[in-house]
Amino acid sequence: MTRQSPHYWLIKSEPFKYGWDDLVAEGEGTWDGVRNYQARNNLAAMAVGDEAFFYHSREGLEIVGICTISVAGITDPTDETGKWAAVKVKPREKFAHPVTLAAIKAEPRLAEMQLIRQSRLSVSGVTAQEWQVICEMAQD
């Protein structure tokens, strides 16, 4: 399936379990273990070349960098039933200045982010405008 423009996402991970540094060390990581239908739908909608913010949950509470979807539409290798989706991601860019959850909440243009509205969703969508705003914040 081809699309005209890349889509943007935000993926969460607990840094003590699998953080940005782990992804960099591996070079490519498989995003699996998702057992939430909405998150799965987001995973299934990803395409190669899409970009995703990498967010540290529970500890850090900030977006630390950007990764790209390197392989899309695969079946979760940790799931025997074969009904859960997964993708592979590669690190692209580490933010000079991580964008914290507090900073996101303080920015009116980001008030409608899926990250804010559904705080428990581990894979969420990001609009092109939200993507732009956060990239600007990461450079300040």
Partner DNA sequence: GCCAACGTTGGC
- Where does this chain bind DNA (CB under 7 A)? 12, 14, 35-38, 57-58, 61, 101-102, 105, 118-122
Q: Min. distance of Cβ 115 from DNA in angstroms?
A: 7
* Distance from C-alpha of 112 to C-alpha of 139, rounded to nearest angstrom: 22
CB of 102 or CB of 128, closer to DNA? 102
Q: How far is CA 6 from the centre of its chain?
A: 14
Q: Which is nearer to DNA, 3 or 111 (CB)?
A: 111
Check if the beta carbon of residue 44 is closer than 8 Å to that of residue 85.
Answer: yes
**Could you tell me the smallest distance in angstroms from the CB atom of residue 90 to DNA?**
22
Given the complex with DNA, which of 36 and 127 has the nearer CB atom?
36
Q: How far is the CB of 122 from DNA (least distance, A)?
A: 4
Burial 45-58 (b: 16+ CB within 10 A, else e): bbeeebbbbbbbbe
Helix (H, G, I), strand (E, B) or coil at 128: helix
Looking at the Cβ atoms of 27 and 37, the one nearer to DNA is 37
CB of 68 to DNA, least distance (A): 21
Q: Which two tokens stand for residue 76?
A: 């979760």
Which phi and psi (to 5°) does residue 49 adopt?
A: 100, -20
